[in-house]
Amino acid sequence: MISNSPLYKQIADRIKNEIMVAKLKKDEAIPSENKLADKFQVSRVTIRQAIALLVKDDILYKIRGSGTYVKTKKIEQDIYRLQGFTEEMIKLNKIPSNEILEFTMQEPNDTVKDTLQLKNGGKVFFIRRLRCADNEPLILEDTYMPVSLFPDLSIEVMTHSKYMYVENKGYNIKERQGEIFPLLPNDYHKKILKMGDDEPFLSMNLWAYFEDNTVFEYTKLYFRSEKYTFKFTSKRI
């Protein structure tokens, strides 16, 4: 039977079918445009159109200067559940790791000072971490924590679970609040997170409280949007 759909859609369906039957694995690079054109006996223009359609449909993703890859299932972040990155990755059977990009003690700016409710002269630790799972960068994290609460905070501590460290000090974590918004990455973000030029990311500002309502952290997170999705449940009252 002759299909009435455009040729590039037919080719896209054939590529998609190969992915579905596991001839192409997740996060595996698909063949070059030239090889696909030879395989399906069509022009490179048709292949480009087919790939563009599959990218639009979230089946493939492109990394400029590298190639086109089969997209993995996104990590679903439950925004109503307070758990750390390490806990989350372990539950997903992934190996979490943290690369410390910066660790300093500094005077907080007004935003950090107000968020952490610091008195004049109060200093903070600033920690920039690259959060990875199975050696793949997923999140860039900028965290501010009061020196007065965590005088023994160190690079070694921050290579592991931050919340486990906090709880091991005897503190009870009550809740975390935050806000999410889309953001275009700058050159630094794209390099660190290995993102393409046209990929946006999701940014989150959050602050967490102890049971006595003391704010103990202020963190900015930058998520690779092709790897993360955020879920929540709403109930009609």
**Six-digit token pair at 56?**
């639009």
- Last residue of one domain, picked from the residues 17, 49, 70: 70
Instruction: Give CA–CA dist 206/140, Å, rounded.
Output: 14
- Decide the pairing of beta strands 201-210 and 173-183: antiparallel
pLDDT tens per residue, range 18-34: 765 555 666 778 888 89
Higher pLDDT, 208 or 59: 208
pLDDT tens per residue, range 77-134: 544 454 566 666 666 667 778 899 999 999 999 999 999 999 888 999 999 999 887 7
Choose the weakest-confidence range: 31-45, 67-81, 111-125, 198-212.
Answer: 67-81
* 185 and 104 fall within a common domain: yes
Choose the weakest-confidence range: 47-51, 79-83, 118-122, 146-150.
Answer: 79-83
- Residue 23 has a CB neighbour count (10 Å cut-off) of 10
Give the H or E element holding residue 27: none
Query: Could you give phi then psi for residue 107, rounded to 5 degrees?
Result: -75, 130
Task: Please give the distance of CA 204 from its chain centroid, rounded to a whole number.
Answer: 10
Average pLDDT, rounded, for the chain: 82
Domain interval for residue 64: 7-70
- The pLDDT score that the predictor gives to residue 47 is 92
Supply the DSSP string of 49-89, one letter for each residue.
HHHHHHHHTTSEEEETTTEEEEPPPPEEEETTS---HHHHH
Higher pLDDT, 223 or 167: 167
Among candidate residues 120, 125, 165, the one with its CA nearest the CA of residue 142: 125
Task: Please give the distance of CA 120 from its chain centroid, rounded to a whole number.
Answer: 35
- The pLDDT score that the predictor gives to residue 130 is 92
Nearest 5°: CA angle at 20, between 18 and 25? 80
* 150 and 224 fall within a common domain: yes
Residue 236 lies in a domain: no
- Tell me which range, 4-13, 36-45, 82-91, is most confidently predicted by mean pLDDT: 36-45
DSSP letter at 219?
A: E
Answer positive or negative: Cα dihedral of 114, 117, 119, 121: negative
Higher pLDDT, 13 or 103: 103
Q: Please state the domain count of the chain.
A: 2
Residue 1 lies in a domain: no
Q: Is the pLDDT of residue 234 over 50?
A: no
Q: Is the pLDDT of residue 3 over 70?
A: no
Mean pLDDT score, 40-61: 88
DSSP letter at 29?
A: B
Higher pLDDT, 181 or 122: 122
* 32 and 100 fall within a common domain: no
Residue 26, domain CATH: 1.10.10.10
Instruction: Give CA–CA dist 145/224, Å, rounded.
Output: 24
Q: Is the pLDDT of residue 235 over 90?
A: no
* 89 and 203 fall within a common domain: yes
Residue 2 lies in a domain: no
DSSP letter at 5?
A: S
Higher pLDDT, 16 or 88: 16
- The pLDDT score that the predictor gives to residue 212 is 93
